[in-house]
Amino acid sequence: MSATLIKKERLPQLDIYRALAILGVLHVHATSFATVDAIDSRFYYIINFINIFFKYGTPSFIFLSSFVLFYNYADRPLTKELIGNFYKRRLLYILLPYLLFSILYFFVRMYQNGYLGPSFDLSAQLPVFFERLIRGQNYTHLYFVFISLQFYILFPIFLALFKSSRFLVRWAVPIGFLLQWAFIIWNKYELRYEFKGSLAISYLAYYMLGAFLAMHYDKFKDWLTLSWWKQSARQKAGTVVLWGGWLFMALTHVQIWYNQRLHGAKYDSLLYELLWNLHTIFSALVLMQLANWLYHGGWKWLVKLLTRIGELSFAIYLVHPLWLFLYRELDPKLNPVTDDYLIWVYGGMVTALIVSGLAVQAFMRWIPGAWVLLGSIPRSLKRAPKTPAPSHSKDTVTGDSRKSVDL
């Protein structure tokens, strides 16, 4: 049976999910310096709140990547051709941009640390570059792309196991939590690996949750898509538990960081890990529901805007730290305790979204071969061919033919 004959329901609302996730990432990165510099500000609770509350961004992308992969591939025959095309696309659209941006940000970091100059010795720094490359550490945000590459390597194995065992599918989420937390505890008390955040096993619960939801999507579809007023009593109860649990975990997570940063409170590292894990796991499902509600809410302008942001989210993720670096280089030397400082900090988030979004959109639309640097190009930004191009199978998640790489 040809994979092109398998038709799945279009889920264009996932671009809205991507938009909500990238907004989370931008809020966290824009406030990272302020959590240290503005410790005496009367607005410190707000700064800390933004920095911690929006930490759902990267875990939500990991969950969504898994959901899209399993949603697209679970019903397809697992052939050599399918696996070969899978790896080929990720080599082109993920690994290549990762390598190029790692080089770019390596030199940005060299500049930040004052190493660039007449005495700069590139040959002496190359071992440092490659050491950071294999850990996703050439800049603070590249670990996510590195984690994604690890999941892509493992995906065909997981897919084969899930297709062969209903038990694994049924217990995917508990297994994910168990393995993730076994590694966390082992690392805390024995392994002590410094860069565990760059290892895929640290996010296995999100990956398994995405796989489970994708393979049972028909069972959860109504709950995730129906508005509150159309939900059954049981579905409403589930929504209350989901959103109530999310708010409780998020606000508790915010509070312990506030206590630690401002008042020096001490907590076990496992508590931070647990609250982050639960906060972001709840967030992954909340965003799925919220994206559906926004998509079906009738606000066409908002849907259009969020859809475009979602289409560009991977490229924005790669580019936005470069703008934040330039933005901070133009620091107006505001006193961190003044009201203007908070405006300047949040201005970094807003401008990072606008400048990065417009830049990558223009680059994709007008620069041939932009995919080499920025990954897959949305169909809406591709130039119309002068002659009819051969049709290819539609992306089963977005419903278009832009060859998404499932991010």
- Encode pLDDT of 234-251 as tens digits: 999 999 999 999 999 999
Q: What is the CA radius of gyration of the chain?
A: 22
- Over range 62-77, report the average pLDDT: 94
In sign, the C-alpha dihedral spanning 107, 108, 113, 119 is positive
Q: Which residues contact 77 (CB under 8 A, 6 or more apart)?
A: 1, 3
Helix axes of 217-225 and 233-263: crossing angle, nearest 10 degrees = 80
Residue 2 has pLDDT above 50, yes or no: no
d(CA 195, CA 135): 8
CA distances (Å), 64 to each of 36, 57, 262, 302, in order?
A: 31, 11, 34, 21
CB 328 within 8 A of CB 348: yes
Residues in the chain: 407
In 3D space, the residue among 200, 203, 183 whose CA is nearest the CA of residue 192 turns out to be 183
- Over range 179-205, report the average pLDDT: 96
CB 28 within 8 A of CB 318: no
Q: By percentage, how much of the chain surpasses pLDDT 90?
A: 80
In 3D space, the residue among 2, 17, 84 whose CA is nearest the CA of residue 398 turns out to be 17
CA dihedral 302→304→309→310, nearest 10 degrees, is 100
Q: What is the pLDDT of residue 405?
A: 53
Q: By percentage, how much of the chain surpasses pLDDT 70?
A: 92
Q: What is the pLDDT of residue 136?
A: 94
Q: What is the pLDDT of residue 407?
A: 56
Residue 3: pLDDT band by 50, 70, 90 thresholds? very low
HSE of 124, CA atoms in CB hemisphere, 13 A: 6
In 3D space, the residue among 140, 72, 145, 67 whose CA is nearest the CA of residue 105 turns out to be 140
Which residue bears the tokens 């807003």? Answer: 350
pLDDT digits (tens, 9 = 90+) for 346-381: 999 999 999 999 999 999 999 999 999 999 999 888
21-321-187 Cα angle (round to 5): 70
Residue 390 has pLDDT above 80, yes or no: no
Residue 389 has pLDDT above 50, yes or no: no
CB 253 within 8 A of CB 51: no
